[in-house]
Chain A
Amino acid sequence: MSRSEEEVLDAIERRRRRPHVKLMDKQITLAHGAGGKSSHTLVETLFVREFANPELAALGDSAILSPGPGSARLAFSTDASVVKPLFFPGGDIGELAVNGTVNDLAMAGARPLWLSASFILEEGLATAELTRVVQSMAAAARRAGVVIATGDTKVVERGKADGLYIATAGVGLLERDIELTPARVRPGDRVIVSGSIGDHGMAIMIARGGLELETDLESDTAPLHELTAALLDATGEVRWLRDPTRGGVATVLTELALAAELGVVLDEAALPIRDEVNGACEILGIDPLYVANEGKLVAVVGPDGVDAALAALRAQPLGREAAVIGTVHADPPGMVLLETSFGGSRVVDMLAGDPLPRIC
């Protein structure tokens, strides 16, 4: 017991920054798919290490590709959908599969253009159900202005997949000469979220029926490319963009804080959270900051661009409830803090474990 509290806290911070070198887990558990700490360790120690290339190592929502000098830069991303149930209030697996990849591309500041779709179908799946999903994908693609240009189909035995899984990949064009990276974030910048948080994750949880809660809550799944385009047109002060899917707002901001070695201080009272989401989270003991979103973006904007950014977002149907939720500070580096509406403060860290499996 010779260490002081200060030394213990310093040791924790050093440990949080130490790159994971070895995958310690002997087998895959659901936690590896939750988007929190276990997912990060898996990606870092296996995929990034074995595939070893700078495009992947940047770990953005999309990889940024430069085919050659003078040619246009491309954004490239992929997303797999394993959501259960296949149809839920506000959307379905098909719409989610299209929007997921469209949004990953949009967060790089790209215009999404082409998608691929791979289907893993379970023997016995009703073709009527598959048709509904595919029609929904076609509608989502039209809405997002993308073409589903290629694909693949596989069928597995009954019991080996929950109906169907879909993997999409997408290519987008970077038309603006911008770089949205943690390195551009500065103390004094503001954190903006484009609308209410936690809708998707809680809508899925409630749709599974096990909780016996009745709400009108719907998934927020939506393509965000128009919102990002409006935001980037309105101000050159946008430094960084992410869509807070698995792991929620807390996880993407913790990643930012660690990557930029800056502190992010959130104002609990400013977080836009629907009453239904708050209520369900209170009952289940889940923090809405960790609940997945499928139609929201988090932006860090320089102080001079905040008014323009908010105005541009709020002028769009998907950004009407946009709000400033926090500020970037020099201290404490690598950490997200929440000033509670009660008048206290606490740390916000990455998620450990998985309270809500199979939500996207």
Chain B
Amino acid sequence: MRFVDEYRSPELAKSLSAQIADLAEPGRTYKLMEVCGGHTHAIYKHGVEDLLPDEIELVHGPGCPVCVIPMGRQDDAIAIAQHPEVIFTTFGDMLRVPASNGSLLDAKARGADVRMVYSPLDALRIARENPDREVVFFAIGFETTTPSTALTLLRAREDGIENFSVFANHVTIIPAIRSILDSPDLRLDGFIGPGHVSTVIGTRPYEFICRDYGLPIVASGFEPLDVLQGVYMIMKQLAEGRAEVENQYSRVVREEGNPLALRAIAQTMQLRTTFEWRGLGFISQSALELREEFAQWDAEVRYAVPGVRVADPKACQCGEVLKGVIKPWQCKVFGTSCTPDRPIGTCMVSSEGACAAYYNYGRHAGRRTREPATT
């Protein structure tokens, strides 16, 4: 397939893999965090770890938008969805996230009108087609998806669509990275930086990582060769004693980001004083809410939600997984009480969640590293 196959070439992969192995100092271990869930997914789906030397360990980061939404917000979403006049629209992954009393899929089975959409504009279209109903869009995601919510809000205002609102849960990546860096539990050697987030925010916001923490970061694409090349660029920096922001994904990422998208976000949303992240707790100025001018389209203004902080199930260790402190398999309930068909935590639900990726794709690789291949 054009525009995809060239980023999956096994020959190029082999050559990069050999160059990475050459850069690894024997006896030293390298912990590299891939920030994005999209990277986690690509790494397991294409078996990228098979091409890395034993010295390199990939640590999964907090950049899975479904995973970081705390239980309380999911309860709020279900409370909104249960209003009889509401058509509640959401991305597919959020349907199966367990809340205090079942998932959105369970709420749907109990009679709530919950519909899966691929874009907030689809939700706006549903609002146009159902003028006698109230359509709510469950907005989640990092800066990757925020612009599409922003543009949808602008469109709603322009077209005067009043039966549409947004339940905003957009989060920002930089405070999450800072929280990981300030956590005493983890020593990292570098970051595979976000790809699509960087198309929006650019690469400049990462400079503090090099300046204040002395670590390299390489914004990378999501094809397996992109990831491998990102790892190579980090290893090269480490070998040469550099700590810089580099851009592997230069075919779409610009240093200054996307000014149009940033403007649309600024027009419609502003930073919340604080927001709770699953596992990471409350992080100040880490999420967005709608501006006053858009209160009319703000589901949090239009619907009374419980807004209660709900603790994760006791057994769930999603928080430690999201911080990269433990590997998915080290969670007490991984693969036994918590599986993709009966998830306890969000990391087992989303295709970008580290637990789901490891369970669905990676669990044989863990064995193979210790045994000679049998196939």
Q: Which residues of A contact B48 (CB under 8 A)?
A: 342, 344
Whole-angstrom distance from the CB of B207 to the nearest CB of chain A? Answer: 32
- The chain A residues found within 8 Å of chain B, CB to CB, are 1, 5-6, 8-9, 11-12, 15, 24, 26-31, 36-38, 41, 210-211, 263, 265, 275, 278-279, 282, 284-285, 329-332, 335, 337, 340-347, 349, 352-353, 355
Q: Which residues of A contact B118 (CB under 8 A)?
A: 210-211, 284
Interface size class of B (residues with CB under 8 A): 35 or more
Contact of A8 among B8, B51, B335, B368 (CB under 8 A): B335
Contact status B13-A342, CB under 8 Å: yes
Contact status A342-B46, CB under 8 Å: yes
Contact status B51-A347, CB under 8 Å: no
CB closest chain-B residue, reference A10 = B367
Cα distance A30–B1 when bound, in Å?
Answer: 32
Contact of A9 among B44, B46, B122, B363 (CB under 8 A): B363
Contact status A346-B367, CB under 8 Å: no
Contact of B364 among A37, A278, A282, A337 (CB under 8 A): A337
Whether B131 sits at the interface, judged by CB under 8 Å, is no
Q: Which residues of B contact A26 (CB under 8 A)?
A: 102, 106
- The chain B residues found within 8 Å of chain A, CB to CB, are 1, 4, 8-10, 13-14, 17, 44-51, 92, 95-96, 102, 105-106, 108-110, 117-118, 122, 224-225, 326-327, 329-330, 332, 334-336, 339-342, 351, 359-368, 370, 374-375
Q: Which residues of B contact A278 (CB under 8 A)?
A: 1, 4
CB closest chain-B residue, reference A4 = B329
Cα distance A1–B329 when bound, in Å?
Answer: 9
Tell me which of A31, A41, A329 has the highest count of chain B C-beta atoms within 10 A of its own C-beta: A31
Cα distance A281–B330 when bound, in Å?
Answer: 32
Contact status B364-A6, CB under 8 Å: no
CB closest chain-B residue, reference A275 = B1
Q: Which residues of A contact B326 (CB under 8 A)?
A: 1
Cα distance A28–B117 when bound, in Å?
Answer: 22
Contact status A352-B341, CB under 8 Å: yes
Q: List 30 A-B contacts (CB under 8 A).
A: A1-B332, A5-B327, A5-B367, A8-B334, A9-B367, A12-B336, A15-B336, A26-B102, A29-B105, A29-B108, A29-B109, A30-B108, A37-B340, A37-B341, A278-B1, A329-B375, A332-B364, A335-B364, A337-B364, A343-B10, A343-B47, A344-B46, A344-B47, A345-B364, A345-B368, A346-B44, A346-B364, A347-B364, A349-B340, A349-B360
Q: Which residues of A contact B96 (CB under 8 A)?
A: 31, 353
Q: A5-B329, A347-B362 are in contact. Are A340 and B47 (CB under 8 A)?
A: yes
Q: Which residues of B contact A31 (CB under 8 A)?
A: 96, 105, 341
Contact status A11-B341, CB under 8 Å: no
Q: Which residues of A contact B10 (CB under 8 A)?
A: 341-343
Contact of A27 among B106, B362, B365 (CB under 8 A): B106
